[in-house]
Amino acid sequence: MTIDVRHVCHPDAVKGFDTDALRRHFLIENLFSPGKILLTYSHIERFIVGGACPTDAPLELQSDKATIGSPNFLDRRELGVFNVGGPGKVEVDGIAYALKSRDALYIAKETETVRFRSDSASDPARFYLLSTPAHARYDTKLVSAADARKMELGAQETANKRTIYQMIHPDVCTTSQLVMGMTQLEPGNIWNTMPSHVHDRRSEVYFYFDVPDSARVIHLMGEPSETRHLVVANEQAILSPPWSVHSGVGTSAYTFIWGMGGDNIDYTDMDPVPMEALR
């Protein structure tokens, strides 16, 4: 298991970042490596973001003295897991939950052991992980895309026809602060979250997938009057601080998993940015 640590950046400092600095602070390029768990610890909301890709042997989530400090990873945290690979199992204190592609599992605070397995090493599961600190324990729950609260948004004419699957969401699954779901664009549609917004009371992480090898997503970030962009390839993630706009456009359709933590668990708590304010 590896943990990369990222610190918080003030927006005034980010104005002067070049492409390398923007990518080093806000883009997570590698989330999956066969037979490994790769993690990034961000001081933004104390998110832990990563991926587990088990092959022949199970992989166990372990704590880390330098960052988490408690004996078990989830002693004071909760965890959202989305499978974006082949079928697999997540064992939570000995109970196995089967996750096919796009199923999610919320794992409770105070869980002692979490193990990831693939059903077949030739089609390994790819478990995307997002964890936040938690003040209370709620039940571990498996949520499939069919169980999600769904919202159909946008139109073909504006190239933003998409379905939002709210999965680890207060109407579906009770958590301390973690809210997660998935946005899937219809073929031929490329824009998410436009008009854009900020969510000052929460920070977010976006994991982009279903991006063809030859395609990229242009993720917009920065203060509304001082935008920057990151060019994102398949299975890469973005750390989004509360002062940053949220919007993105692809060179083809894609899917992304959004995850949020912060001062409330109200998905709709977003401040729209008027188009004329964007620069």
For ligand LADIRMRS, the binding residues (CB under 6 A) are 162, 164, 183, 192-193, 199, 204, 246, 258, 270
CA dist., res. 148 & res. 144, Å (int): 7
199 annotated as belonging to a binding site for a ligand = yes
Under DSSP, the state recorded for 129 is E
Largest Cα–Cα distance in the chain?
54
Binding flag, residue 126, Zn ion (CB under 5 A)? no
User: Which residues, in sequence order, are CB contacts of 3 under 8 Å at separation 6+?
Assistant: 39, 40, 41, 48, 64, 66, 67
Collapsing DSSP states into helix, strand and coil, what is residue 275?
Answer: helix
User: Which residues, in sequence order, are CB contacts of 70 under 8 Å at separation 6+?
Assistant: 63, 76
Question: Which entry of Zn ion, ligand LADIRMRS, none binds 162, CB below 5 to 8 A by partner kind?
Answer: ligand LADIRMRS
CA-to-CA dists, residue 8 to 13, 17, 128, 132, angstroms = 10, 14, 22, 16
204 annotated as belonging to a binding site for a ligand = yes
Least gap, CB of 229 to Zn ion (angstroms): 16
Q: Which is nearer to ligand LADIRMRS, 118 or 175 (CB)?
A: 175
Q: Which is nearer to ligand LADIRMRS, 37 or 143 (CB)?
A: 143
197 annotated as belonging to a binding site for a ligand = yes
169 annotated as belonging to a binding site for a ligand = no
Binding flag, residue 219, Zn ion (CB under 5 A)? no
Q: Which is nearer to ligand LADIRMRS, 176 or 192 (CB)?
A: 192
Pick from 89, 117, 219, 246: which binds Zn ion (CB under 5 A)?
A: 246
User: Which residues, in sequence order, are CB contacts of 86 under 8 Å at separation 6+?
Assistant: 101, 118, 119, 120, 123, 124, 125, 126
Under DSSP, the state recorded for 20 is H
Binding flag, residue 169, Zn ion (CB under 5 A)? no
Q: Which is nearer to ligand LADIRMRS, 113 or 184 (CB)?
A: 184
Q: Which residues of 74-108 are buried (b: 16+ CB within 10 A; e: fewer)?
A: beebbbbbbbbbbbbbbebeeeebebeebbbbbbb
* Residue closest to Zn ion when measured from CB atoms: 246
Least gap, CB of 253 to ligand LADIRMRS (angstroms): 12
Question: Which entry of ligand LADIRMRS, Zn ion, none binds 255, CB below 5 to 8 A by partner kind?
Answer: none
User: Which residues, in sequence order, are CB contacts of 100 under 8 Å at separation 6+?
Assistant: 83, 87, 144
Q: Which is nearer to ligand LADIRMRS, 31 or 220 (CB)?
A: 220
Question: Which entry of ligand LADIRMRS, Zn ion, none binds 216, CB below 5 to 8 A by partner kind?
Answer: none
Q: Which is nearer to ligand LADIRMRS, 2 or 158 (CB)?
A: 158
Burial class of 275 by CB neighbour count within 10 A (0 to 12, 13 to 18, 19+): exposed
**List of residues contacting Zn ion (CB under 5 A):** 246
Binding residues are 197, 199, 204, 246
Binding residues for Zn(2+) are 197, 199, 204, 246
